[in-house]
Structure formats: C-alpha cells, structure tokens
Structure 1
C-alpha cells in the first residue's frame, strides 16, 4: 500500500485525539491544540503535554519510533520529563500513531524553526545550551538519528552533500548522540529547554550545531553567535561536513528562491569546501 502524503494541519484529527484521551486517561484541552505537518500537541487536564505523531511504517526502522520515551534515560540535559506513551497501527494505512505525555515546557519556544529576527537570549541561556549539548555528546545509545525521519547514514550524507557540492570527500569519522531536529521551534526561550526528541540518536559530530546555524542564517549576528558558541563542533572535520549537509538542504534542488538564508549558506559552504580541501 502506498503511503499518502499527509499534512496534519489540514487533516481531521478528532478521532485520534479521542483515542489518545481514552488510552492515557486524561482530557485534552482542544483550545490548546497545536498542529504541525506531522504532529499534533495539546495540554492535558492534569497539567501535562501530549504530542501525537503520525509516521509511516517505512520510517520506523529498528528504533520503533520511541525517541521521546528513550530520551528519558539521558542525563545532564535541559528537557521536559517523559511520563507515558501509547502507540497503535492505523487501521487503513501503513502508519504508526504515537502519543507521548511529557512535562509542560518551562516557557515558549524561541520562534519558528527558522528565525528572521534576533531573539533576546541571556548569557545563562547560552551556557545552558552548551552544557546540554556537551552532556548529550557523552551519552551512550544504539539509536541512529533520523533527521526529517530519514535514518542518518554515510550514504545519505554523501548523496545530500554531493547534490550541491560534488567531489567533496565526505568520509565521516566521529559520531556521537544528537537531538537531530535542533532548531528554534524546538527550544524554549526562558529558561533553555530542548524538546521533541523523536529523532535523536547517533550522528556525525556537529549535526545539532550545524542545524541551529542553518536555522539562524537570516540573522547574521545570531548565526555568528551559534558558530562562536559551538566552534569546537563546527570546526572539526565532521562538523564542517555537517555544515555542508545543512547548507545542501538549503541550497539544493528544492531551494526556495525567496529564502533569506541562500546567500549566507552559499558563502559559508564555499569557504568550508576550501577548508576541507586544504586539510
């Protein structure tokens, strides 16, 4: 059966919300519902948050789609606690639905995934970001990151980079745990907290830093700050390759001609390609 493309911002989800309420034993505040392309979230009657995701069976893999639950074992990271989860197979499509109940966020997200205006972030915020990413890199896991629900492999990195920067040596060497969807929509403003852990797992060093850099390019001072804070990651060989990986997604065949990040992504990528060639 072919999996149809679905945008949950446009699909009816009342039956799904009803099932989650029955399974978790709590009411969902329908006025608090937040819809995204492949997930729906809502506040519960017991003061928690539930995130519901629709994911095709072909994107589940050996990890089972339990990223948020498995992230509860991570330590030293500012993130909401996980309390409960429920999953089921769709009756008519090759799809898994999963709902995870977590602690409420301590604040509002910084912004959209990509920001166009500089957020006012305290020095303590940056310190917490660094502490969390440094702690994450020391954890142990057999999970493999699935950015954009695709399992991250050497082959995927090579194909993505070569689609825009052919000929670059893309051999990866240093892998460590990453959030894998690290952007401004998944991080709170005050205090720092990172959420939506569905895709976390092992990834080349620098993936999270490169993702945040790419999400900041429309605000040059913010992109520079990200680079400065995560210099150790981004100036490593794998970090440079992750910069090209992210840049290739911005600049590739599906690039938006109105994307304000295009020029900065191109300029940085060209510099990084030269740096890799000189090593």
Structure 2
C-alpha cells in the first residue's frame, strides 16, 4: 500500500485527538492545539503537553518511532521529562500514530527554525546549551539519526555535498549521538531547554552545532557566536564535513534565491572545502 502524503494542517484530526484523550486519560485543550505538517500538539488539563506524530511504517525500522520516550534515558541534558506514551497502527494506511506526554516547556521557543534577528541570549543560556550538547555527545545509542526525515548515512552526507561540490568525497570518521533537528524552533529561552527528540540518534560529530550555525547565518554575529561556543565541534574534521553538509543543503538544487544565508553559506563552504582537501 502506498503511503499517502498528508499535511495535518489540512486534515480532519478530531478522531485522532479523541483517541489520544481516551488512551492517555487526559483532556486536551482545544484552544491550544498546534498543527504542523506531520505532528499535532496540545496542552492538557493536568498541566502537561502532548505531541502526536504521524509516521510511515517504513521509518519505524530505523527510528522505532519512540524518539521522545527513548531520549528519557539520556542524562545531563536540559529537556522536558517524558511522562507517558501510546502508539497504534492506522486502520487504513501503512502509518503509525504516536502520542507522547511530557512536562511543559520552561519558556517559549527562541524563534522560528531560521532566525532573522539576534535573540539576545544570556550567558547562562549559552552555558546550558554547551553543557547539554557535551553531555549528549558523551553517550551512545543504537538509534540512527534522521535529518529532514532521511536516515543519516555516509551516502546521504556525500550525496548532499556533491549536489553542490561535484567530486568531493570524504568519509565521516566519528559518529556521536545528536538531536538531529537542532534549530531555534526546538529550544526555549530565557531558560534553555531542547525538545522534539523524534529524530535523535547517531550522527556525524558536529551535526547539531553545524545545524544551529546554518540556522543563524542571516545574523552574522549570532553565527559567529555559535562557531565560538562550539569551536571544538566545528573545527574538527567531521565538524567541517557537517558544516559543508549544512551549507550544501542551503545552497543545493532547491535553494531559495531570496535566502539571506546564501552568501555566507557559499563563502564558508568554499573555505571549508579547501581546508579539508589540504589537511
């Protein structure tokens, strides 16, 4: 059976919401329901948050569909605690639905995934980000991270880079746990907390730092701050590869000609290619 392309912002979801309420024994606050393309979210009557995801069965083999729950085993990371979860197979499509209940976030998301102005974050915020990324990288998992719903493999890294720099071919050496969707929409301020752990798993060293750098290129001072804070990640061999990987996604075949990050991404990518080829 072919998986139907669905945008949950456009689909009727009342039956799904009702099922989640029955399974988890909560009442969802209909006034707070947030609809995204592949997920839904809502406050509950017990001061928690429920996130509901629609995921094709073809993605369960790699990820298991339990990212938020499995991330509860990670330690030393500022993230909302996982409280309960439920999953079921759709009766009519090759799809799994999963709902996870977590603590409420300590603040609002910093911004959209890609920011256009400096969020003016405190030194305490940066310290908490660094502590969380360092703690995450020191752990291990059998999960494989996904980036934009694609499994992070050597082939994906090479293919993405070669879409902009044909012929460039360099293997990843070090793989470490990563959030894999590390952007400004998935972390809070003024208190740092990172959420949406659905895609986490093993990834090339430096992916999260490079991803946040790429989401900040429209604000040069912010991008520079990230490079300074995560210098060890981004100046490593694999960190440079991930910088190139992220830059290639910005510059690739589907690049937006009006994206203000294009110039900085191109300049950095060309420099990094030369550094890697001469190292």
Same fold (TM over 0.5): yes
2:62–2:144 Cα contact (<8 Å) kept: no
Structure 1 ranges of 4+ moved more than 3 A: none
1:9–1:35 Cα contact (<8 Å) kept: yes
In the alignment, the residues of structure 2 paired with residue 60 and residue 253 of structure 1 have an alpha-carbon distance, to the nearest angstrom, of: 28
In the alignment, the residues of structure 1 paired with residue 63 and residue 276 of structure 2 have an alpha-carbon distance, to the nearest angstrom, of: 33
Partner residue in 2 for 1:86: 86
Partner residue in 1 for 2:135: 135
- Secondary structure (helix, strand or coil) at the match of 2:54 reads strand
Q: Where do residues 235-254 of structure 1 align in structure 2 (5 Å cutoff)?
A: 235-254=235-254
Partner residue in 1 for 2:95: 95
Moved more, 252-261 or 101-110: 252-261
Partner residue in 1 for 2:25: 25
In the alignment, the residues of structure 2 paired with residue 106 and residue 229 of structure 1 have an alpha-carbon distance, to the nearest angstrom, of: 23
**Cα distance per residue 1:18-46 (max 9 Å; x no partner):** 11001000000011111112111000111
1:170 CA displacement: 2.2
Partner residue in 2 for 1:164: 164
1:61 CA displacement: 1.6
- Secondary structure (helix, strand or coil) at the match of 1:60 reads helix
| Structure 2 unaligned blocks of 5 or more | none
**Cα distance per residue 1:199-236 (max 9 Å; x no partner):** 10111100000100011011111111111100100111
Q: Where do residues 215-254 of structure 1 align in structure 2 (5 Å cutoff)?
A: 215-254=215-254
1:115 CA displacement: 0.5
1:62 CA displacement: 3.8
| Structure 1 unaligned blocks of 5 or more | none
Partner residue in 2 for 1:41: 41
In the alignment, the residues of structure 1 paired with residue 160 and residue 61 of structure 2 have an alpha-carbon distance, to the nearest angstrom, of: 21
**Cα distance per residue 1:245-273 (max 9 Å; x no partner):** 11111111111111111111111111111
1:157–1:170 Cα contact (<8 Å) kept: no
RMSD: 0.9
In the alignment, the residues of structure 2 paired with residue 63 and residue 221 of structure 1 have an alpha-carbon distance, to the nearest angstrom, of: 35
Partner residue in 2 for 1:145: 145
